[in-house]
Each structure stands twice: as C-alpha cells, then as structure tokens.
Amino acid sequence: MKKHLLTPGPTPVPPEVLAATAAPMIHHRAPDFRVLLERTVGRLQQVFCTTNDVLLFTASGTGAFESAVANLVSPGDSVLAVSHGEFGERWAKLASVYGADVTSLAVAWGETPRADDLARALAEKPADVVFLVHSETSTGVVADIEALAAVTKAAGALVVVDAVSSLGAVPLETDVWGLDVVVSGSQKALMSPPGLAFAAVSPAAWERCELATSPRFYFDWHRYRKSYESLGTPFTPAVATVAGLDVALGMILDAGLDTAFARHAALGRACREGAKAMGLKLFSPDDESSAVVTAIFTPEGANAKELVLALRDRFGITVAGGHGDMATRLFRIGHIGWFDVFDITTALAAVELILTDMGAPITRGVAVSRALEAYGEAVAVP
Amino acid sequence: MKKHLLTPGPTPVPPEVLAATAAPMIHHRAPDFRVLLERTVGRLQQVFCTTNDVLLFTASGTGAFESAVANLVSPGDSVLAVSHGEFGERWAKLASVYGADVTSLAVAWGETPRADDLARALAEKPADVVFLVHSETSTGVVADIEALAAVTKAAGALVVVDAVSSLGAVPLETDVWGLDVVVSGSQKALMSPPGLAFAAVSPAAWERCELATSPRFYFDWHRYRKSYESLGTPFTPAVATVAGLDVALGMILDAGLDTAFARHAALGRACREGAKAMGLKLFSPDDESSAVVTAIFTPEGANAKELVLALRDRFGITVAGGHGDMATRLFRIGHIGWFDVFDITTALAAVELILTDMGAPITRGVAVSRALEAYGEAVAVP
C-alpha cells in the first residue's frame, strides 16, 4: 500500500534530501565535511534569522531542550515555564530534574498563553530564565513569542524558546525579538530525517552558561563552540543526516522563507476549512496562526482512535491522535515541511469517507472541494 | 575522484544499508516502526551476546558514555577509569564532570592495560564502578576485557565497557564475561551511519541506577526501558538510521559473528604484514588482537601529516592521523565493518607510492603482495 505521512514530525522527506543522506559516507574530520558543516550552520542561521551561534547536536529535539536547561540552570535557580501543552510541561519537568525552583504558568491545552499573564507572574515572582513553546504540537496552538519575549526581557529574565515544530513553518525572528536561546530539530518543517537538534545561543545566554554549575558533557555548549573554530563537532555527528539537512535548507532558502510561511498558512487554512465543511469542530484555533498542525474533534459517536486506525489500515495514511484523555475525541493532521494542498485533500477525503461509513451525516465531496477553494483564496492574497 | 574511506569510524556503509536509510520516512509511533525497533533491538542483543536490555539512543557514542555515568554515578562515588588512550581519558573526564571521586589507572598510549594492575589498584582503593575501554581507537590496542572484568567483579565493583569500535569486530561476550554496562555506536563495525548509540544494561546496573542522584532526562535509562514496553522510544529517534542499522545487523548476523571476527583478524594481519614489508614500524601491537585499526609509524624523515594529506589529495583516500604529539609520526588505517582485503591493499599501495616519492627506501610492490599473502594465510587457518 502506498503510504501517506501526515504527522507533525517526523514529516515526509523530499527525494533530493533522501538521496543526499544515502551518499557514500565521509569522515567528519575530512575537508568535505567541514565545508558541509559550515554551509549547513550558515543556512541554519538564515532560517533562525540570527547571527548568534547555532549549535548542532546529534540528538532528538529533547536533547536540545536539555542542553538549554543544563547550560543555563543551576540548582535553586528560579525559572518559569509557560505551558500550554505537552512540550511546555516538558520544560518544567526538565528544569525540575536539574533542581530549579520551577514556576509553571499553565493555561489549558488548546488555549493560547497571554503576555499580560506572564508579565503578572514575573512581577509576583521574578525568574532567571523563562521557557516558552512557540508551536505546541500537542494542540496546534502557535504562541505569540514576540509579545511573550518582550515581557520576559522587560522583567530581566533570559528567554528560551522551543521552536521544534515552528522553525521554517511560521515566522520566528530570533534576533529581532531578542530570543536568547531557540531550540529546534531536523524532522519537522525542515523536511529532514530525525536525528539532529539545534540551539541558537545569544551572547547573554553564553554569559549565563559560564556560571551554570549543572553537570553536562555531551550537551556542553562550550565543546560545540570550540569545535566550530576548526569547523568540526566535538563528537562524531550524524554525517548523513547533516548532508540531507543541508539540501533541505537549500531548497527552503532558495524558494524563500516567506514562501514557506505563506504555504504553511494556506495549508492550515485549507485543512481547517475542509474539516469545518464536514461539520467538524476544531480544537486548534481557527485563525491564520494555526499553520503547523490542525487538531480536529470527531463528531459525536465517532471514536477518534478508530478513525486513526482506519486511516492507517484502509488507506496507509498516518495522522496523529490526541494526547491522554483526548485520544477518543481528537485527531491531528500535520502540515509542516514537504506538503502541498493535495496531501491535505488526500487526508480529508479519507477522513470524510471513514466518518461517513461510521454514520456521520456528511455530504460527500465537501471537504476536498472546500479545502481546494480555501487554499486558492489563501494563495491569491499576496 | 573516487573516494576511499579507511578511518576507524565513520566507516563505509554498504549500499543495501544506505538504500534502507533513504526509504520514505515513517512515523516512530506507527506499527511499521514498532516492528523495526523490536527486530533491531533483538539483533543488537545478539551482537552484544546478551539477554540484558539494550537501550538505543539517538546520539553519538559519547552520549551512551554519558548515559552510563549519569545513570550510575552520584557525586562523591568512587570510580576507577582504566585508560590507555583518548577514550579511557574520556571516561575519567565524564565521571569528574558528574562529581565522582575518580582514580585513573593509566598506562602509556599504545600499551595494553593489565588485569593484575587493576586488581592491585582496586585493593588499594575500592571503587563502586570501573570504566574500561575495549578497543582504544586512538592506538589500536584491544584490551582483555574478560580478564579486566573478572578482577573488577571480584573486587565488588560494577564493570562498564566502551565497545564503540570493538562491537562486531572482535569477540565481546557481555553475559559470559559478566559485563554490567556495554556502550557502543552504529558507525563502526556495525557498518551504519553515525547517529545511534547503545547501552546494554545488566540487572545489577539497573539496581545501581535506582540510587543514582545525578540529573538526567534525555539519557535517563528508565525512560527508554518504559518506552520499550510499548515498542517505542521516549523521544523521536533517528528513524532512518534505525532502518539502516537493522539491515546492517541482518547482514552481519546472516553471515555469522564468527565470520565477522575472522575477517577482521585477517584484515588486521594483512595490514600489519603489508606495513612491515615496507619496513614500517607498528605502533599497534603486532598480534591477532589488533583487528580494529592499525597504527603505523612513518619512516624517519617522512612526516605523517604530509602522508595523510597526500593520500587524501592525490588519491581520495582518507585514513586517520595520530593524536596530539604523535601527529607527525603516526597514521592509522581503520578496517572495521564493510572492508575486504582489497581495501587494505588500496591503502597500502598508495602509502607505498607516496612514501617512495618522499624518499623512503621501499621496494615497490612489496606491501600489496605481502598483505594478500598474509590474508590468504589467515583465512586458510580455520
């Protein structure tokens, strides 16, 4: 059966990128790799919109999360984690593991955190470091990082951002917004296989790093910066994945970041409109910020777990389910990276067919038609 | 120019393995990946010769090193690191970073550590954990882990082994030798791209892990064991590299581990004999244990750095140099993984030509002839 991957990571990888990962192996201290690493890191800086160091780890995205905590936080430090889903909770857990005094500013899953709430929380209890999530993959909410970062900086704290599923999908201005640390990974909107994670580190973050007493070695930022001086990495990196990422970043930058952002916004809109045309309710916000993943409720009486399984077993389509107690009510269609509107219509057409078979009162054909129409409207707007 | 990679990691990857890494991406929580992960971990257990849990990390080999330290060592614990090169020193550094009371039992680079010295050191100062290096890639020395582990266990300490460059190249009996933790990586004798690291963990190591107070999250062993219960990983793994590793392990196990060990021993012998036929002196021990990498001195007056550069620039051949102050005197030919004798003769023929051009008095043709002869002798012996 032909497979269709529509999860918010890992995402489909273009054949050009796959081919680059399958080239004969090269040595990580040979000149070929030095050229590759320098170019890839330069391209990452362009995608992060930063002149800061962008460190490249061989790890899942969580490895870059942990690097931020281990290099910035010492036991007893006061930190605040803004949480609106699974990954905000992960920041809080990580900081606790490293002995921080953690305040969690949590809003309900599916809600969007507000800058004035953060300002109030920081006024009540100052923090050394604030941890934010840009795109919360578990809910589809994309937070207003510019506003959250502004109040954080006004309160004198460092701002650390999880941009794993947002980088390359929605605008993220590391330098303009003054973000001290931004972490991301290869396997989402960057259209590459999983296995590489990144941390963009500002001068202020480097200063704090000097003082942090938490033990770290593999994720010790200093080792990476020192190795960059000779265009290398401190440990054997995932050479093949770097080769793939380099090609993917080249594709993204050749087309332009704004083109990528516009495509993601249009895909999100197509997905939402197609779902609504079937009468389905959205869990993700119904606005242009929802460009990463669309979380959708199944109709009354249709079990979302069964829908996800039927998509997989009948049609080879992989979408994501809902977390925890949302598992029976929610499914999520990812649309970051190498997607066009026909990936969205494929998913919606299959969802429509299965829900109809489950007895949902849906007029057949509405989802695809409305998705195409909405996409056309979105791309027509400059 | 056609490229020839003869370093002790990353090593050449067979085309079947590269093709598997370039297959369309699958989701790490989908059934396809569960089947893949279960099979790969089962194959790793066979290669490690263990029924212990083999945890799979998306990381360089050093990530697995750090996992062993973070999960076993608490500040103030007494540990002993047996060091005979770069990677023994890495164990000591890592344990220091985690606040251990570290004793380093160091022998000169190129020497082989002795079990009776270790027994004496442990009698003088007991240790909770002993860290060993099986194959010291920086020197070519393969230590007698069975003997070192026996005295460690007799002294009541846990034994942790770096098998990054030895696993699959030379015999390693995790269960029979009673090794508590064995760490390794994908990019050496396992013929796969870099990006995956492993830790085989014994019941005694799990017990100690319960008590360790060092902070860890990404490398927290418990998270991996818990995820294995549902055939998953706690964080998004390097899916494509796992697919490649699975194929590579299948190739190794189909031919049989003993076949791999015999081939590596014969390749080491061919390399040593070819080098000696040119009148070169060996830094690695001149015996059958030297099956991983052969470290060779250049003749008086021939700068090893220049040799390494000439091999690369004239012939596209990448070999490894010597570390630190050995850089001008030493070069290293790796022969772990996907190598046959003609890879060795290629490297030796090029070395012979360049050294002759540098003025070394070598009879042309001796290296290749003697290497082939020695290989034939080695494989003729059952």
Q: What is the DSSP string of A89-147?
A: HHHHHHHHHTT-EEEEEE--TT----HHHHHHHHHHS--SEEEEESEETTTTEE--HHH
Query: Given this model, what pLDDT does residue B150 score?
Result: 98
Interchain CB contact of B236 with A (< 8 Å)? yes
Residue in A with minimal Cα distance to B65: A218
Question: Do B237 and A9 make contact, defined as CB atoms within 8 angstroms?
Answer: no
Contacts of B24 in chain A (CB under 8 A): 3, 5, 12-13, 18
**Cα gap A84→A112, rounded to integer Å:** 7
- Is there a contact between A124 and A103 (Cβ–Cβ < 8 Å)? no
Domain ranges for chain A, please list them.
15-254, 257-380
Residue in B with minimal Cα distance to A5: B26
Question: Which token pair is A355?
Answer: 């829900």
Neighbours of A376 (CB within 10 A): 12
Q: What is the CATH superfamily name and number for domain B256-380?
A: Aspartate Aminotransferase, domain 1 (3.90.1150.10)
Question: Do B215 and A218 make contact, defined as CB atoms within 8 angstroms?
Answer: no
Amino acid found at B84: H
- Please write the tens of the pLDDT for every residue from B147-170: 999 999 999 999 999 999 999 999
Strand order through the sheet with B129-133: B53-58, B196-201, B181-185, B158-162, B129-133, B78-83, B101-106
Q: In which residue are the tokens 């360790």 written?
A: B212
Provide the 3-class DSSP secondary structure of residue B60. Answer: coil
- Among A3, A30, A214, whose Cβ lies nearest the Cβ of B215? A214
A window 295-314, beta carbon within 8 A of B: 312
**Cα gap A16→B179, rounded to integer Å:** 43
Contacts 24+ apart (CB under 8 A), A176-180: A176/A49, A177/A145, A177/A146, A177/A149, A177/A150, A178/A149, A178/A150, A178/A153, A178/A202, A179/A145, A179/A149, A180/A204, A180/A205
Interchain CB contact of B108 with A (< 8 Å)? no
- Please write the tens of the pLDDT for every residue from B28-39: 999 999 999 999
Interchain CB contact of B216 with A (< 8 Å)? yes
Q: Which residues pair with A296 in a beta bridge?
A: A282, A331
Neighbours of A104 (CB within 10 A): 18
From first to last of its 382 residues, chain A has per-residue pLDDT tens of 999 999 999 999 999 999 999 999 999 999 999 999 999 999 999 999 999 999 999 999 999 999 999 999 999 999 999 999 999 999 999 999 999 999 999 999 999 999 999 999 999 999 999 999 999 999 999 999 999 999 999 999 999 999 999 999 999 999 999 999 999 999 999 999 999 999 999 999 999 999 999 999 999 999 999 999 999 999 999 999 999 999 999 999 999 999 999 999 999 999 999 999 999 999 999 999 999 999 999 999 999 999 999 999 999 999 999 988 899 999 999 999 999 999 999 999 999 999 999 999 999 999 999 999 999 999 886 5
**Cα gap B231→B311, rounded to integer Å:** 46
Interchain CB contact of A99 with B (< 8 Å)? yes
Query: Given this model, what pLDDT does residue B381 score?
Result: 62
Query: Given this model, what pLDDT does residue B325 score?
Result: 85
Question: Which token pair is B9?
Answer: 């990691």
- Is there a contact between B220 and B197 (Cβ–Cβ < 8 Å)? no
Minimal Cα–Cα distance from A286 to chain B, Å?
A: 26
User: What is the distance between the terminal CA atoms of chain B, rounded to a whole angstrom?
Assistant: 38
Chain A interface, mutation test: which of B27, B196, B221, B339, most A Cβ atoms within 10 Å? B27
**Cα gap A27→B341, rounded to integer Å:** 21
Q: Is the ipTM of this complex over 0.95?
A: yes
Interchain CB contact of A24 with B (< 8 Å)? yes
Question: Which token pair is A166?
Answer: 């947002």
Question: Do B217 and A94 make contact, defined as CB atoms within 8 angstroms?
Answer: yes
Q: In which residue are the tokens 């490894």 written?
A: B320
Instruction: State pTM to two decimals.
Output: 0.97
- Is there a contact between A226 and A234 (Cβ–Cβ < 8 Å)? yes
Chain A interface, mutation test: which of B60, B87, B314, B333, most A Cβ atoms within 10 Å? B60
Chain A interface, mutation test: which of B235, B247, B323, most A Cβ atoms within 10 Å? B235
Minimal Cα–Cα distance from A162 to chain B, Å?
A: 15
Helix H or strand E segment including A159: strand A158-162
Interchain CB contact of B176 with A (< 8 Å)? no
Q: Which residues pair with A106 in a beta bridge?
A: A83
Contacts of A195 in chain B (CB under 8 A): 58, 195, 237-238, 240-241
Question: Do B240 and A11 make contact, defined as CB atoms within 8 angstroms?
Answer: no
Residue in A with minimal Cα distance to B217: A94
B49: left (phi over 0), alpha (psi -120 to 50) or beta: left
Percent of chain B exceeding pLDDT 90 equals: 97
Q: ∠ at Cα A302 (A270, A274), nearest 5°?
A: 10
Cis bond upstream, residue A194 (ω within 30) = no
The candidate with the shortest Cα–Cα distance to B59, out of B249, B292, B294, B216, is B216
Question: Do A3 and B26 make contact, defined as CB atoms within 8 angstroms?
Answer: yes
Question: Do B218 and A61 make contact, defined as CB atoms within 8 angstroms?
Answer: no
- Among B30, B194, B215, whose Cβ lies nearest the Cβ of A237? B194
Question: Which token pair is A290?
Answer: 């929802």
Strand order through the sheet with A101-106: A53-58, A196-201, A181-185, A158-162, A129-133, A78-83, A101-106
Chain A interface, mutation test: which of B67, B131, B217, most A Cβ atoms within 10 Å? B217
Query: Given this model, what pLDDT does residue A382 score?
Result: 52
- Among B5, B98, B216, whose Cβ lies nearest the Cβ of A25? B5
Question: Which token pair is B369?
Answer: 């002839």
Contacts of B63 in chain A (CB under 8 A): 58-59, 218, 235
Question: Do B98 and A12 make contact, defined as CB atoms within 8 angstroms?
Answer: no
Stretches in chain B below the pLDDT threshold 50:
none
Query: Given this model, what pLDDT does residue A198 score?
Result: 98
Residue in A with minimal Cα distance to B11: A25
Query: Given this model, what pLDDT does residue B380 score?
Result: 80
Query: How many CB pairs below 8 A link A and B?
Result: 176
Contacts of A58 in chain B (CB under 8 A): 58-60, 63, 194-195
Provide the 3-class DSSP secondary structure of residue A161. Answer: strand
Question: Do B214 and A216 make contact, defined as CB atoms within 8 angstroms?
Answer: no
DSSP A326: G
Question: Which token pair is B81?
Answer: 């690191």
Question: Which token pair is A145?
Answer: 């990082």
Query: Given this model, what pLDDT does residue B160 score?
Result: 98
Minimal Cα–Cα distance from B17 to chain A, Å?
A: 9
**Cα gap B362→B381, rounded to integer Å:** 30
Interchain CB contact of A218 with B (< 8 Å)? yes
- Among A24, A59, A94, whose Cβ lies nearest the Cβ of B58? A59
Interchain CB contact of A28 with B (< 8 Å)? yes
Interchain CB contact of B85 with A (< 8 Å)? no
- Count Cβ atoms within 10 A of the Cβ of residue A23 and give its class: 0-12 exposed, 13-18 middle, 19 or more buried: middle
The CATH code of the domain at A257-380 is 3.90.1150.10
Chain B interface, mutation test: which of A190, A217, A230, A241, most B Cβ atoms within 10 Å? A217
- Among A11, A61, A99, whose Cβ lies nearest the Cβ of B215? A99
Q: Which fold has domain A15-254?
A: Aspartate Aminotransferase; domain 2 (3.40.640)
Chain B interface, mutation test: which of A26, A187, A235, most B Cβ atoms within 10 Å? A235
Question: Do B217 and A312 make contact, defined as CB atoms within 8 angstroms?
Answer: no
